[in-house]
Every structure is written in C-alpha cells, then in structure tokens.
A and B are shown apart, each in its own frame.
Chain A
Amino acid sequence: QQQVKQSPQSLIVQKGGISIINCAYENTAFDYFPWYQQFPGKGPALLIAIRPDVSEKKEGRFTISFNKSAKQFSLHIMDSQPGDSATYFCAASKGDKIIFGKGTRLHILP
C-alpha cells in the first residue's frame, strides 16, 4: 500500500520530442504528488507538484497529468531539450510521510 511504482526506468528521447514518465500509487490517502529532478552530483530539486483535486498542472514545458480513479499520474516534458537530461523521481505524500518512486533516467539526444 505504500509503494509508488515509476516507469520507465530509463528513457531516451530526441531533442524536441515529448518525454513521458508514469507513476502509480496504491494508497488513496496520498494527497500531494511532487516530481523531483536530479542532475548528476546534485541533490533532487522540486520540479512541479499537484494535488488530487485537479487533473492537470502545467508549468512551462512541464505538465503533470493526474488520474485519481486510476491512481496514476504522469510527467510530460514538451519540446525536450538536452538540458532536461537528468533523473526524475515521482513521489506521493500524506501528512508527514512521503514515498518516492525509484526514478527514471532521462537522456535527450541532441
């Protein structure tokens, strides 16, 4: 019940393409779903987050789509750039507990 399953484990996308990373959770009590971006040698940094009362949130080229009934959410990166190459973690949180997915290593081909 506490797992967050993230896929794919790694992803290669052409520059200008759309990168899509998916996550699924089990515990319906989760009420905050952040995405973190981590560059090599750095700690994860919050990229974008959503609460389950909305189905989509967009910030620049980054969009979270949220499907409450399916208990799934995804990150879409439009017009992917080489600078987006990083590891992305989804997470689900309730109160003071947060569970992270295992991460997706994204590589954007120039």
Chain B
Amino acid sequence: KAGVTQTPRYLIKTRGQQVTLSCSPISGHRSVSWYQQTPGQGLQFLFEYFSETQRNKGNFPGRFSGRQFSNSRSEMNVSTLELGDSALYLCASSLRDSGWTEAFFGQGTRLTVV
C-alpha cells in the first residue's frame, strides 16, 4: 500500500512569488490535513479537507489556501511568498470520517524563500 506522497520534495522560490504543493493521500483516505513545520514553532495546523470540503482551518493568513479534488488529492497554495514562509510543509491523510484516527504523514516539501 503506497504511503502519502508529497511533491515536490524541495522548492526554492523568491519573495513575492506563489507556490503550489501537492499531496496524494493513501488510497481510501478521504481526509487530508496540512501542517507547517519550523524549528521554533513545531507543527502548526494549516487546514484540513474532507471529501473536497475544508473542514477545519488554522490561524494562517489568507495567502495560504488549499483545495481537494474528487480523488482526495490535495493541493496547497501560498501566494505572495515571504521569507518567513520558509518551512517544511507536511500533509497527513487519514480515514477520519468521524473522530480522530491514525494520521499518516508524507515526507514533506521543503520550501525555501529567498
């Protein structure tokens, strides 16, 4: 059974640009959550999608957005990049149709903003 796949693994972008990250969940998983991981702040929740609908949202500015497709694949977009957006972006998938079940994380996308 394939795990959670995130692409690309590494990205370097310039301030002001936008970026799109992709996450393919484990087959059968309908919930995809996105996290930002930085050394100082740990894992910060961005948002969760379930069956193409955003179900939860963290405290991030509107520059951070996402969507989920009918096949459960999800994309995250960050517009007008800032230096502080440099981080490891992780997505996690789970069955999670009600309550918390085990979440499986991808290896992440390392975004560097210069």
Contact A103 B43 (CB under 8 A): yes
Chain B residues with a Cβ closer than 8 Å to the other chain, count: 23
Contact B56 A97 (CB under 8 A): yes
Known A89-B42, A103-B42; contact A98-B100, beta-carbon cutoff 8 A = yes
Chain A: residues with CB nearer than 8 A to chain B? 32, 34, 36, 41-46, 49, 89, 93-103
Contact B106 A43 (CB under 8 A): yes
Pick from B42, B96, B104, B106: contact of A96, CB below 8 A: B96
A94 to B96, CA, bound (A): 12
Complex: chain A residue closest to B50, CB-CB: A96
A89 to B55, CA, bound (A): 24
The total of Cβ contacts below 8 Å across the A-B interface reads: 51
Residues of A within 8 A of B113 (CB): none
A95 to B94, CA, bound (A): 13
Tell me, yes or no, whether B99 is within 8 Å of chain A by CB.
Answer: yes
Contact B43 A44 (CB under 8 A): yes
Closest CB of chain A to B110's CB: distance in Å? 9
Contact A102 B100 (CB under 8 A): no
Interface string of B87-111 (1 = CB under 8 A from A): 0001010001011101111111000
Closest CB of chain A to B44's CB: distance in Å? 8
A35 to B102, CA, bound (A): 11
Task: Among A43, A45, A97, A99, find the residue whose CB has the most chain B CB atoms closer than 10 A.
Answer: A43
Other contacts beyond A96-B98, A97-B56, A98-B45: 8, CB < 8 A = A36-B105, A41-B107, A43-B107, A44-B105, A94-B100, A96-B55, A96-B56, A98-B103
